[in-house]
Amino acid sequence: MDEKARSLLLQNRAALAKDIRTAYIMDHMIGDEVITPQEEEKVKSQATHIDRAQRLIDVLLGKDNRAYVSFYNALLHEGYKDLAALLKGATSIDVTGSIKAAVNGITSFVKTALCEGGVPQRPVVFVTRKHLVQNIHDCLYSLSNDPGWVTVYGMAGCGKSVLAAEALRDHQILNDCFPGGVHWVSIGKQDKAGLLMKLQNLCTRLDQDCKYSQRPPLNIEEARDRLRMLLNRLFPRSLLILDDVWDPWVLKAFDVQGRVLITSRDKSVTDAVSGMKHFVHVDSELEHKKGLEILSLYVDKGLEELPEEAHQIIEESKGSPLVVSLIGALLREFPNRWAFYLKQLQRKQFKRIRKSSSYDYEALDEAMSMSVDRLKDDLKEFYNDLSVIEKDVKVPTQVLCILWDMESEDVEDILQEFVNKSLLLYCDRNGRSFLYYLHDLQLDFLTERNRDQLPALHAKLVSQHQKYYSCELPTMEQEDCAYWYHYLAYHMAQANMHQDLRSLLFSLDWLKSKMRLYGPAHLIHEFVRYRDILDKQDSKTREDFQEFLSVNGHLLGQDSHINLIQLGLSQPDDSMVYKQSILQAKEELQHGALYVNWINKQCMKNLASLAVRPHSEAVYHACFSHDRQKIASCGADKTLQVFKSETGENLLQIEAHEDEVLCCAFSADDRFIATCSGDKKVKIWNALTGKLIREYSEHSEQVTCCQFTNGNSPCLLATCSYDCTLKMQLWDIDRKYCLNTLFGHSDCVNHCRFSPDDKYLASCSMDGILLIWEVSSANEYKSIDVAQSFQSKNESQFLLKCCSWANDCSRIMVTARNCLYIFDVESSDLVSELEACHQSITILYCDFCTSNQIVAMALSHYVVQLWNIDSNTKNSRIQCTFKLGSLCSIFQ
Ligand SMILES: Nc1ncnc2c1ncn2[C@@H]1O[C@H](COP(=O)(O)OP(=O)(O)OP(=O)(O)O)[C@@H](O)[C@H]1O
Ligand SMILES: [Mg+2]
């Protein structure tokens, strides 16, 4: 250790020994690996706190400079600013960087794990909230062996995200509970397309070497399966952090039996998912003392040296850590302005910006306004430019380099100024690149303040993009690539650059690249979102493109060999897609390319005999009535719809449940329809009138499937649920309760089916087991451990999704991921096994044809396949044209 450092320690030994509490200090030092647990034990074994402190100083004197720095940082962390000041004079301590040094007081293991996981950096000035961090740690420890959810909840801006990140900045917890690492995803308010984009980014991040798939998942269902596989195989025992979750439905996409930490303003967000749940409440106000600590760190003064105004500033800030930080940053520059800033805060000139933001700190607007007004003019302009960022989006430096036409170092310097003033937040990707973002409330403030200039600011970003890229398209290697593909159209729309938006979305090159990188869902979403703008001149062009994407998007998303122009040439001659394709084809022809133009388009038969689009969101299930006259369908829009199979005429449209409707089924006599839902309920409807006849609330988790018997026995209804049980209901109008509850599965039950003769009921579950029950006794007849039979494969293969009986009841098939297995019911032997597609794709539904030989499968990449089981050959392959994946198929 430095002579100077040593002598400072010796000089101040008495003062240090008198005051410090060694336990917390040593936590930091152990984390920094500068003292060993044995040394800690020795210190702890001393009788009094003075003795313990003396002992620690003795240990320290035998160490190097690193230990001295760690001790110094620990003092700062634990609020012993005065004592830390006594040690500041040592040459080994960079005095100016004292705050930074404290920030870096974490082990390199932690640093790497957090950077790789995209965990945001601490705010420049940071105070520990030990008690809350400890509460989060306690919950996280209970995830070390079992999957589950920890929800950190509290009011807007009360410090949840900062706390969640802080809880991870801990060597021991990462080492003990999450050796697989951590993965941070900012969620925010999302729609389906936005969520899919987040999932795609996460999957790409987790599978950087494209080990499991060359392309991102095309829909949320597929993304969830991909995520499950990636977490299981590449990152076992890792923690997923979902920051700022608003809607419970979002969590279903992450319901993959993993370990999840959530921050949310709403305690009940996890209601719709299954598994162990833990909660940590963050008080809406930062304690008074902590607020003072933030100020004292900013102005570099002891707590007792702070003027009276400091207390009042905290009062005015209503305990908002963000407001206190903004004022603190101002005071750092102008230390004599306590009274002035207090007066400003009290002015209450600004009303709350947006009542809907549920933000209750009136002082925020004052504080933001003061901070922004104090910026130098050029910086103010740069800061205003950030108003165009969409909420919950982290922007890579490169985007801002393009916006400001500057080198990345200059851009980072500017942004660091904002970070220092608590006006901006950032994540560090291992020093390779930085991502910047604004807190929701800062963005609300900025957009409100610059309301009139917003179109111009968006236009500036778009024109800078056009200047930089001219005719080129961003490619995957560029760190700003994803940003442009996802937000360029948004900026154009906000800038009122309608013509540019049309040119962009109607450009085959743009479509091709975006589709290849991110699939069709987001593009289709943009066509819907900007429909009014795109339709201004005529609606046909948009319709042509949208139709083309809906029908062919999945092809372009999955196979890089498929040529978009050739595909465009197959469109009707009056389609704008065809017209553009033929122009491009002619041009490329001159450079030696070869294209085939269709001459017999009129003779082409459309495979689909009827297309109906009754639902406003994803369709989860559809089935024929037994007389084949009707089709019932249900889905994410919570409705049940019934229409004529011949004409598509809508017969019933029922707001059926309070959550997504997951399955529906006709009774054998077609008089009733059953539905079940994420709201845990099962309902029975009159199939003619749509009247609700009965409602059952006996399941304790979402109900995934409902099936009636086939008419060979008294009418029974079976339902299965994520609560691991099946219920069998003797269906009769007067019966209000279930007949039998079938216990046997140890994990969520996905699907159930009565055998065609109604003697048995089969059920399959995430526990990898196919159970067959005897209907008359409700006893277990047979258990086929599909997972056990294939131990060589990874366990995630065997989350059994769907089962179906052969018509003669002799065989039963079950699907798991991309594989299908057929068992002989009598002997339980495996009869056939086939891998239907690439492992990144999932079989969502399967069904036997009545001939027993042909099997239909609906796959997650919008494809329906027919297989001849006896020969294991694919009979034909129907490219399904639904936009949101075909989730089920039923033979009739
Ligand atoms: N412990 C802390 N020390 C210093 N500043 C803090 C602390 N916690 C929060 N802050 C400040 O308050 C701001 C808001 O905190 P944070 O983003 O964690 O709030 P939140 O509760 O997640 O808000 P939201 O509900 O909007 O997601 C931070 O950007 C930071 O400036
Ligand atoms: Mg937050």
CA dihedral 153, 159, 163, 165 (to 10 degrees): 100
CA of 106 to the centre of ligand 2 (A): 22
CB of 422 within 6 A of ligand 1: the answer is yes
CB of 324 within 6 A of ligand 1: the answer is no
Say if CB 262 and CB 271 are below 8 A apart: no
Q: Is it the case that residue 264 has pLDDT exceeding 90? A: yes
CB of 102 within 6 A of ligand 1: the answer is no
Q: Compute the C-alpha angle 614/615/618, nearest 5°.
A: 140
CB atoms inside a 10 Å sphere around CB 304: 8
pLDDT digits over 267-305, tens only?
999 987 888 999 999 987 778 888 899 999 998 888 888
CA of 157 to the centre of ligand 2 (A): 7
The closest residue, in CA terms, to atom 16 on ligand 1 is: 159
Selected residue with higher pLDDT from 552 and 763: 763
Say if CB 858 and CB 845 are below 8 A apart: yes
Q: How far is CA 451 from CA 119, 365, 385, 387, 424, in A?
A: 31, 15, 12, 9, 20
Query: Is it true that domain 288-367 has CATH number 1.10.8.430?
Result: yes
Relative to the CA of 158, which ligand 1 atom is closest? 21
Q: Is it the case that residue 754 has pLDDT exceeding 90? A: yes
- Rounded CA-CA distance 59/43 in Å is 9
**Positions of CATH 3.40.50.300 in the chain:** 117-281
CA of 164 to the centre of ligand 2 (A): 9
CA of 126 to the centre of ligand 1 (A): 10
The closest residue, in CA terms, to atom 29 on ligand 1 is: 322
CA of 28 to the centre of ligand 2 (A): 25
Predicted confidence at residue 803, as pLDDT, reads 95
Which ligand ends up closest to the CA of 294? 1
pLDDT tier, 789 (very low <50, low <70, confident <90, very high otherwise): low
CB of 285 within 6 A of ligand 1: the answer is no
CB of 280 within 6 A of ligand 1: the answer is no
Predicted confidence at residue 275, as pLDDT, reads 84
Which residues does 230 contact at the CB level (< 8 Å), separation at least 6? 203, 206, 207, 212
- Rounded CA-CA distance 577/541 in Å is 8
Q: Ligand 1 pocket test: which of 323, 436, 439, 442 has the largest number of ligand atoms within 8 Å of its C-beta?
A: 439
In DSSP terms, 684 is beta-bridged to: 674, 694
Phi, psi (deg, nearest 5) at residue 180: -80, -5
CA of 348 to the centre of ligand 2 (A): 25
- Look up the CATH number of domain 3-104: 1.10.533.10
Phi, psi (deg, nearest 5) at residue 586: -60, -40
The closest residue, in CA terms, to atom 13 on ligand 1 is: 322
**Positions of CATH 2.130.10.10 in the chain:** 617-743
Residue reference for tokens 């105070």: 127
Which residues does 512 contact at the CB level (< 8 Å), separation at least 6? 556, 564
Say if CB 96 and CB 121 are below 8 A apart: no
Helices 521-529, 192-206: crossing angle, 10 deg rounding = 150
- Rounded CA-CA distance 816/796 in Å is 9
Q: Is it the case that residue 880 has pLDDT exceeding 60? A: no
Q: Is it the case that residue 558 has pLDDT exceeding 70? A: no
In DSSP terms, 676 is beta-bridged to: 663, 682
Q: Ligand 1 pocket test: which of 162, 284, 371 has the largest number of ligand atoms within 8 Å of its C-beta?
A: 162
> Using CA of residue 26, residue 27, residue 28, residue 30, what is the dihedral sign?
positive
Predicted confidence at residue 872, as pLDDT, reads 66
CB of 443 within 6 A of ligand 1: the answer is no
Predicted confidence at residue 353, as pLDDT, reads 40
Relative to the CA of 422, which ligand 1 atom is closest? 31
Residue reference for tokens 């491009």: 584
CB of 244 within 6 A of ligand 1: the answer is yes
Say if CB 235 and CB 181 are below 8 A apart: yes
Give the pTM: 0.72
**Positions of CATH 1.25.40.370 in the chain:** 497-604
pLDDT digits over 131-163, tens only?
999 999 999 999 988 899 999 999 888 899 999
Q: Is it the case that residue 665 has pLDDT exceeding 80? A: yes
Q: Ligand 1 pocket test: which of 133, 325, 357, 371 has the largest number of ligand atoms within 8 Å of its C-beta?
A: 325
Predicted confidence at residue 742, as pLDDT, reads 92
- Rounded CA-CA distance 134/126 in Å is 17
pLDDT digits over 313-369, tens only?
888 887 788 889 999 999 988 888 898 888 888 876 555 444 444 455 567 888 888
DSSP 460-525: HHHHHHHHHHTT----TTSTTHHHHHHHHHHHHHHTT-HHHHHHHHT-HHHHHHHHHHH-SHHHHH
CA of 423 to the centre of ligand 2 (A): 15
Which residues does 481 contact at the CB level (< 8 Å), separation at least 6? 474, 475, 517
- Look up the CATH number of domain 117-281: 3.40.50.300
Say if CB 716 and CB 725 are below 8 A apart: no
CA of 160 to the centre of ligand 2 (A): 5
CA of 770 to the centre of ligand 1 (A): 48
Q: Is it the case that residue 602 has pLDDT exceeding 80? A: no
Report the b/e string of 173-207 with b at 16+ CB within 10 A.
Answer: bbeebbebbbbbbbbbebebbbbbbbbbbbbbebb
pLDDT digits over 673-715, tens only?
999 999 999 999 999 999 999 999 999 889 999 999 999 888 8
Q: 3-class DSSP state for residue 108?
A: helix
CA of 243 to the centre of ligand 2 (A): 6
Q: Is it the case that residue 584 has pLDDT exceeding 70? A: yes
Say if CB 292 and CB 310 are below 8 A apart: yes
- Tokens for 785, please give them: 């451990």
Which ligand ends up closest to the CA of 184? 2
Q: What share of the chain has pLDDT > 70, as a percent?
A: 90
CB of 294 within 6 A of ligand 1: the answer is yes
Lowest mean pLDDT among 372-381, 465-474, 877-886: 877-886
* CATH of 617-743 among 2.130.10.10, 3.40.50.720, 3.40.50.970, 3.30.390.50: 2.130.10.10
Predicted confidence at residue 25, as pLDDT, reads 86
CA of 487 to the centre of ligand 2 (A): 22
**Positions of CATH 1.10.8.430 in the chain:** 288-367
Ramachandran bin of 711, using left for φ above 0, alpha for ψ from -120 to 50, beta for the remaining angles: left
Q: How far is CA 819 from CA 15, 117, 385, 845, 857, in A?
A: 70, 32, 51, 11, 10
Residue reference for tokens 């036997």: 848
CB of 162 within 6 A of ligand 1: the answer is yes
Which residues does 379 contact at the CB level (< 8 Å), separation at least 6? 414, 417, 418
| C-alpha atoms less than 13 angstroms from C-alpha of 247 in its C-beta half-sphere | 13
Phi, psi (deg, nearest 5) at residue 88: -65, -30
Say if CB 223 and CB 217 are below 8 A apart: yes
CB of 738 within 6 A of ligand 1: the answer is no
- Tokens for 468, please give them: 């930089």
Mean of the pLDDT values across residues 5-11?
A: 85
CB of 442 within 6 A of ligand 1: the answer is no
Mean of the pLDDT values across residues 77-90?
A: 78
Report which DSSP code applies to 282. P
Predicted confidence at residue 104, as pLDDT, reads 46
Report which DSSP code applies to 283. P
Q: Is it the case that residue 29 has pLDDT exceeding 90? A: no
CA of 256 to the centre of ligand 1 (A): 29
Mean of the pLDDT values across residues 631-654?
A: 93
CB of 392 within 6 A of ligand 1: the answer is no
CA of 270 to the centre of ligand 2 (A): 17
> Do strands 239-245 and 182-188 pair parallel, antiparallel, or not at all (unpaired)?
parallel
CA of 792 to the centre of ligand 1 (A): 47
CA of 203 to the centre of ligand 2 (A): 22
Relative to the CA of 244, which ligand 1 atom is closest? 27
Q: Ligand 1 pocket test: which of 189, 284, 322, 327 has the largest number of ligand atoms within 8 Å of its C-beta?
A: 322
Helix locations, 712-794, DSSP H: 786-789
Q: What share of the chain has pLDDT > 90, as a percent?
A: 40
CA of 186 to the centre of ligand 2 (A): 8
CB of 127 within 6 A of ligand 1: the answer is yes
pLDDT tier, 428 (very low <50, low <70, confident <90, very high otherwise): confident
Which ligand ends up closest to the CA of 327? 1
CA of 152 to the centre of ligand 2 (A): 10
DSSP 516-555: HHH-SHHHHHHHHHTHHHHTTT-SHHHHHHHHHHHHHHHH
CB of 439 within 6 A of ligand 1: the answer is yes
Which ligand ends up closest to the CA of 324? 1
The amino acid present at 533, given as its one-letter code, is I
Relative to the CA of 157, which ligand 1 atom is closest? 23
CB of 243 within 6 A of ligand 1: the answer is no
**Positions of CATH 1.10.533.10 in the chain:** 3-104
Instruction: Please give the mean pLDDT across all residues of the chain.
Output: 85
Which ligand ends up closest to the CA of 442? 1
Report which DSSP code applies to 680. S
- Look up the CATH number of domain 497-604: 1.25.40.370
Say if CB 489 and CB 504 are below 8 A apart: yes
SS3 content of the chain, % helix, strand, coil (to 5): 40, 20, 40
CB of 77 within 6 A of ligand 1: the answer is no
